Amino acid sequence: MLRQALLAVSRSGRAERLVSTSPLTKDVVRRYVADDVGAVVSELTRDGLLVSVDHLGEEVTDRAQAEGEVHAYLALLGRLPEGADVSVKLTALGLRLGEQLALDNAATICEHAALRGITLTLDAEEHDTIPGLHFVHATLRKEHPGVGIVVQAYLPDARERCARLAELDGARVRLCKGAYTAPGAYTSAGDIDRSFVRCLRVLMSGAAYPMVATHDPRLVEIASTLAVLHGRDTSAFEHQMLYGVRSEEQRRLAALGSRMRVYVPYGADWYPYLMRRLAERPRNLAFFLRSLLSRR
């Protein structure tokens, strides 16, 4: 129930105004959202970590906004090292205005990213965007086979979608639990975890490149075990975690030789992102509230 409430709050303009204008919010946001993205990326890279950077923004309502998002990503590419990744939400590129517009904008970012040895991953969003997500991914992959896609385990068809993607040689598939709501979706932690493991088995046994996006210690261990069972070395899959969450574990995995990528969000449109992170990990709500109420 708390998760559902937090997801509802993430869509509330009134709550956003209240939280965003609080003078006590800034320190909380900086824990999860990069203030100086260049400095954060440099620090993570020095520590042996890979990055996937997300310019926060979604659900744009006109072409000018979508064009602004493209320009933001093109500017970002010049601040990232080779081997980095950018995560892009298609609704930020105009998906609500048309699939072709989102495709064209994503292709522009892909073309510039490829010149710098940087990949692009298409982020998952609300369940009604999934057909557009797969259309754009399949079309882009014809010329940009390195483009990635996200599958959310909380959706009951996640295993079937992973099975189709697993047939694509080298397809980059980020598997996460999911941070939205949908009709018929799994809601209990146990059901979502079991779906996640089913998806993991499919991806690890297939031809795709799995990107295991979870902070759950048990699922991290299961992923590593399945990789060994299916003959994958540390170059054949990667772990992914969020900036500001389990940072010591991120560095521990990197020190062991694992490919460990940190998802780094930045930008002014942080409110929906932060609320969804709290919904994914409600235990963080206590930290958030303490920070807001603190007068340090």
- The catalytic site residues sit at 123, 174
**What is the Cα–Cα distance from 8 to 6, expressed in whole angstroms?**
5
**What is the Cα–Cα distance from 282 to 9, expressed in whole angstroms?**
13
Three-state DSSP state, 198: helix
**What is the Cα–Cα distance from 19 to 136, expressed in whole angstroms?**
34
Contact 174, 150 (CB under 8 A): yes
**What is the Cα–Cα distance from 174 to 65, expressed in whole angstroms?**
27
Q: What is 38-91 written as a DSSP string?
A: HHHHHHHHHTT-EEEEEE------SHHHHHHHHHHHHHHHTTS-TT-EEEEEGG
Question: What letter would DSSP give residue 236?
Answer: S
Residue 228 carries which side chain, given as an amino acid letter?
Answer: V
